[in-house]
């Protein structure tokens, strides 16, 4: 059973923002809302600069879902976390709960009035008839119902951003790390795959 | 004059009607459960004429083609094979 996930390889991301542009174009995201963005650490430091593309990670135990006072979040059969905009009251609790800053709020009026929450849908639309105009207008394109993967991952020029079934993502990444002999210090590697041999320690400078 | 009084009374009553309290009833809802509209699974859609193909309502065939498509992101395998 497929469980949809994203993974961004910091060794490969070149901060081109192609994923951000692909997302905005595919879903016609309004001005001021970024469902995906590229974060760079150690900017300008030679050899230490790293970038990763961040959006909703479609958590298995999503904090946004836990804090929503109107229970407008749901998880699809393939593990994508979505929400019903007709129910959302734009309170912003999900924004405070999310560790990735994924929920976005379009400005709905004067004085910074918040509109209904908008976030990455894994290009899976929302609770409207699949591939309908209403779905596109509210949630963006439903590429999964077209048999495709999210536009950001498919558009990534260096294939740093992987998206799709978590098992396949992990297989691709594992093979990549083994081939280049580097990257096991990526965030979360230790959590996902352990330190390697029994009793072995994670590599020096590991962030996992 | 009488008509004017009737008209003023009518307008007054209409204005007061705006102040009436709306009936409020608690909607029975189960806390922590999704309260919105149901959503269809992607494999229940008909494949597009020019797009990837799977058998409608067959989750396994949809997943199979998604996984196949995903391997397009695995350029190591494409290059070194």
**pLDDT tens across A7-41, in order?**
999 889 999 999 999 999 999 998 889 999 999 99
Q: What pLDDT, in 10s, does the model give residues B18-64?
A: 777 666 665 556 677 898 999 999 999 999 998 899 999 999 999 99
User: What is the b/e burial string over A47-61, where b = at least 16 CB atoms within 10 angstroms of the residue's CB?
Assistant: eeebbbbbbbbbbee
- What's the total number of domains in chain A? 1
Smallest CA–CA distance, residue A21 to chain B, in Å, is 19
Structure token pair of residue A91: 């309170």
Number of helices (H), then strands (E), in chain A: 7, 6
Q: What's the whole-number mean pLDDT along residues A119-123?
A: 97
Question: Are the beta carbons of B52 and A83 separated by less than 8 Å?
Answer: no
Assess: ipTM above 0.85.
no
CB neighbour list of residue A55: distance below 8 Å, 6 or more residues apart: A6, A23, A35, A36, A37, A100, A102, A119, A120, A152
Token pair listed for A5? 């996930």
Question: Minimal Cα distance from A180: which residue of B?
Answer: B76
Q: Give the predicted TM-score (pTM) of the model.
A: 0.81
**How near does any CA of chain A get to the CA of B28, in Å?**
13
Whether A8 is in a domain gets the answer yes
A interface test, pick of B42, B53, B62, B63 with most A CB neighbours within 10 Å = B42
Q: How far, in Å, CA of A133 to CA of A111, rounded?
A: 31
Query: Which chain B residue shows the shortest CA-CA distance from A126?
Result: B39
* Residues B41, A136 contacting (CB under 8 angstroms): no
Q: Do A159 and B73 touch (CB under 8 A)?
A: yes
CA distance A41 to chain B (A): 25
* Inter-residue contact A104 to A119 (CB < 8 Å): yes
Contact A147 B74 (CB under 8 A): no
Task: Give the closest-approach CA distance of B31 to chain A in angstroms.
Answer: 8
Q: A176 and chain B: CB distance < 8 Å anywhere? A: yes
In total, the C-beta contacts within 8 angstroms joining chain A to chain B are 117
Residue B19's Cβ-count burial label (10 Å; 0-12, 13-18, 19+) is: exposed
Residue A113 lies in a domain: yes
Would A158 be classed as within a structural domain?
Answer: yes
Cβ neighbours of A78 in B, within 8 Å: 41-42, 63
Residues pairing with A39 in the sheet: A52
Q: A57 with A79: CB under 8 angstroms?
A: no
Domain membership flag for residue A95: yes
- In which domain, by residue range, is A148 found? 4-191
Q: How far apart are CA A70 and CA A84, in angstroms?
A: 10
How far is Cα A117 from Cα A169, in angstroms, rounded to an integer? 28
What residues in A contact B76, CB-CB < 8 Å?
Answer: 172, 175-176, 179
High-pLDDT (> 90) share of chain A, %: 70
pLDDT-derived band at A177, boundaries 50, 70, 90: confident
How far are the Cα atoms of A44, A70, A100, B1 from residue A65, in angstroms, in the given order? Answer: 37, 10, 14, 64
How far is Cα A105 from Cα A187, in angstroms, rounded to an integer? 28
CATH number of the CATH domain containing A128 = 3.30.70.20
In a domain, A86, yes or no: yes
């Amino acid at each position: 059973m497929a469980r949809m996930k994203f993974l961004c390889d910091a060794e490969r991301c070149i901060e081109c923002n192609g994923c951000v542009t692909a997302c905005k174009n595919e879903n016609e995201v309004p001005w001021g809302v970024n469902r995906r963005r590229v974060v760079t650490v150690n900017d300008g430091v030679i050899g230490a600069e790293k970038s990763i593309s961040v959006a909703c990670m479609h958590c298995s135990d999503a904090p946004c879902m836990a804090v929503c006072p109107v229970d407008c979040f749901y998880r699809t059969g393939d593990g994508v976390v979505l929400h019903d905009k007709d129910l959302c009251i734009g309170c912003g609790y999900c924004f405070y709960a999310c560790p990735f800053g994924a929920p976005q709020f379009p400005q709905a009026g004067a004085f910074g009035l918040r509109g209904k929450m908008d976030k990455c849908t894994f290009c899976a639309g929302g609770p409207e008839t699949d591939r309908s105009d209403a779905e596109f207008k509210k949630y963006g394109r439903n590429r999964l119902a077209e048999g495709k993967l999210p536009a950001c991952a498919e558009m990534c020029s260096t294939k740093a951003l992987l998206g799709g079934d978590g098992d396949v993502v992990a297989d691709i990444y594992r093979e990549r790390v083994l081939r280049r002999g580097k990257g096991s210090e990526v965030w979360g590697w230790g959590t996902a795959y352990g330190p390697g041999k029994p009793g072995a320690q994670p590599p020096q400078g590991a962030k996992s | 004059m009488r008509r004017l009084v009737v008209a003023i009374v009518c307008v007054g009553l209409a204005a007061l009607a705006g102040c009436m309290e709306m009936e409020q009833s608690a909607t029975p809802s189960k806390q922590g459960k999704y309260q919105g509209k149901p959503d269809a699974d992607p494999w229940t859609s008909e494949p597009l004429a020019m797009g990837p193909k799977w058998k409608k309502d067959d989750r396994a065939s949809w997943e199979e083609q998604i996984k196949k498509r995903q391997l397009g992101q695995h350029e190591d395998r494409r290059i070194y094979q």
